[in-house]
């Protein structure tokens, strides 16, 4: 199975892209952090990210979902973030890597769980706060930079995709196959920004 990571700055629209890929019939794996936050808030913890256990809770859920999704028969699967994002989040929040997080990062690297090329959706130039996303645009830009550096530090290559509206994504990418084809066709983006058309359309 080929697993593709779709990640990027908070509120960049990646989850909407994941939703569209799912509607197009592709296997997707949900983001873990928002679900961990929602569950904690439902239990009365307003800002769960202030607790060090927050990071491991996300990493555990990501691991469980990735392993469960491995039993699906699909040849291609799209993941809304992964444990490398959680490592970036730990850096952003000022938490050291726990033993569990370190083991998960090593497992992902050793077993080559994900395709080496990561689709990195750039920020939209603004951020819309939610209960799970209490972050300013300035913090979003900083977090985006930490994400980029963390992925590169762990040996991934970034297909840096400039922002587009969901309507434009859908019109360009009527089939998630173009994402897969792009992974085969482009040598390496490593820090070079490309447009959505570059990343998703081949030929």
For residue range 153-172, what is the model confidence (pLDDT) as tens digits?
999 999 887 765 444 554 44
Instruction: Tell me the average pLDDT across 177-186.
Output: 49
* pLDDT in the model for residue 68: 97
Place of tokens 């994002």: 85
Q: How far is CA 153 from the centre of its chain?
A: 16
3-state secondary structure the chain: CEEEEEEECCCCCHHHHHHHHHHCCCEEECCCHHHHHHHHHHCCCCCHHHCCHHHHHHHHHHHHHHHHHCCCCCCEEEEECCHHHHHHHHHHHCCCCCHHHHHHHHHHHHCCCCCCEEEEECCCCCCCCCCCCCCCHHHHHHHHHHHHHHHHHCCCEEEEECCCCHHHHHHHCCCCHHHHHHHHHCCCCCCCEECHHHHHCCC
User: How far apart, in whole angstroms, are the C-alpha atoms of residue 98 and residue 6?
Assistant: 24
pTM confidence score: 0.81
User: How far apart, in whole angstroms, are the C-alpha atoms of residue 51 and residue 40?
Assistant: 11
Q: What percent of the chain is modeled with pLDDT above 90?
A: 58
User: Domain ranges in the chain?
Assistant: 2-200
Q: Could you tell me the pLDDT band of residue 179, with boundaries at 50, 70 and 90?
A: low
Give the number of other Cβ atoms within 10 Å of residue 22's Cβ. Answer: 15
Q: Could you tell me the pLDDT band of residue 183, with boundaries at 50, 70 and 90?
A: low
pLDDT in tens, 18-33: 888 888 888 999 999 9
CATH number of 2-200: 3.40.50.300
**Mean pLDDT value across the chain:** 82
């Amino acid at each position: 199975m080929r697993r593709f990571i779709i990640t990027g700055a908070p509120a960049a629209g990646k989850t909407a892209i994941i939703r569209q890929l799912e509607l197009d019939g592709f296997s997707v794996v949900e983001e873990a952090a928002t679900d961990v936050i929602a569950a904690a808030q439902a239990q009365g913890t307003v800002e769960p990210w202030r607790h060090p256990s927050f990071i491991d809770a996300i990493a555990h859920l990501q691991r469980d979902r990735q392993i469960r999704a491995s039993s699906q028969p699909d040849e291609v699967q799209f993941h809304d973030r992964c444990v490398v994002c959680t490592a970036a989040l730990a850096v952003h929040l000022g938490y050291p890597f726990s033993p569990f997080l370190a083991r998960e990062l090593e497992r992902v690297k050793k077993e080559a769980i994900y395709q080496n090329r990561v689709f990195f959706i750039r920020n939209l130039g603004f951020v819309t706060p939610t209960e799970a996303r209490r972050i300013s645009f300035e913090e979003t830009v900083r977090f985006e930079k930490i994400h980029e550096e963390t992925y590169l530090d762990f040996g991934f290559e970034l297909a840096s995709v400039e922002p587009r509206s969901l309507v434009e994504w859908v019109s360009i990418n009527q089939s998630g196959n173009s994402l897969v084809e792009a992974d085969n066709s482009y040598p390496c983006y490593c820090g070079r920004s490309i447009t959505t058309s570059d990343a998703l359309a081949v030929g």
